[in-house]
């Protein structure tokens, strides 16, 4: 962990270039673009949540379907792969028992961890995805506490690349590493993400999207977190 200022300097000095090359491609221009992207995200975190915070970085990719489109929620077999477009977050713990997530271009999602009950009146709100992931992880018996996060994503909404699954898996991975030493099984994170989308968001999706995202998230996260 490092302060937001220290993290930005480390990125600018090339300290994360190896991780960026692994995630996005090793050519110089791609790595340089990711340096700019991550530093810009941290700048926005500081604007929303203040400077001097101890922070970590997280990433969860979108996915593409190779076969089995829409059969995963009908007990069918599927084949999918993660892609090099992802949702990323810079995150800091708080002592408020509240999760605050500000995503680029969207309003702040605020979830009081004392209220983790689904409500049909709120279906379709991204705040319910945050609430559902927190509830699912808590139900598994893991630690769930407050954090402040700024996220940005190049997994385009409505593109069929599972931007919502990337967001859900990102949140689950944050809680796994921030408060549970990375001990939450990635399959459980995927199931929690699906549960959040089914029960809290109100969308009857299968597990293809979340499993494709979490498989590569688990492999790459320790490199950049």
Tell me whether residue 40 is one of the annotated catalytic residues.
no
Q: Are 58 and 221 in contact (CB under 8 A)?
A: yes
Let me know the angle formed at the C-alpha of 43 by 38 and 44, rounded to the nearest 5 degrees. 100
Residue 111's SS3 state is strand
The catalytic position among 72, 86, 148, 209 is: 209
Residue given tokens 């605020």 in the structure block:
110
Among residues 186, 183, 180, 182, the alpha carbon closest in space to that of 168 is found at: 186
Q: Are 80 and 66 in contact (CB under 8 A)?
A: yes
List active site positions: 209
């Amino acid at each position: 962990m490092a302060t937001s200022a220290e993290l930005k300097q480390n990125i600018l000095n090339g300290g994360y270039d190896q991780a960026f090359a692994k995630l996005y491609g090793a050519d110089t221009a791609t790595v340089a673009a990711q340096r700019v992207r991550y530093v810009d995200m941290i700048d926005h975190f500081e604007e929303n949540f203040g400077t001097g915070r101890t922070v970590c970085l997280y990433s969860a990719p979108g996915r593409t379907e190779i076969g089995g489109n829409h059969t995963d929620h009908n007990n069918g077999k599927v084949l999918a792969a993660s892609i090099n477009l992802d949702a990323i977050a810079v995150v800091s713990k708080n002592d408020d028992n509240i999760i605050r997530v500000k995503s680029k271009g969207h309003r702040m999602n605020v979830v009081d961890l004392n209220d983790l009950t689904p409500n049909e009146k709120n279906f379709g709100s991204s705040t319910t995805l945050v609430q559902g992931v927190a509830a699912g992880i808590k139900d598994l018996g893991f630690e769930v506490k407050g954090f402040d996060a700024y996220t940005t994503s190049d997994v385009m909404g409505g593109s069929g690349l599972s931007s919502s699954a990337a967001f859900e898996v990102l949140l689950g991975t944050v809680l796994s590493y921030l408060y549970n030493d990375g001990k939450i099984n990635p399959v459980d994170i995927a199931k929690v993400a699906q549960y959040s989308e089914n029960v809290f968001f109100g969308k009857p999706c299968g597990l293809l999207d979340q499993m494709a995202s979490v498989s590569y998230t688990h492999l790459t996260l320790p490199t950049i977190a």
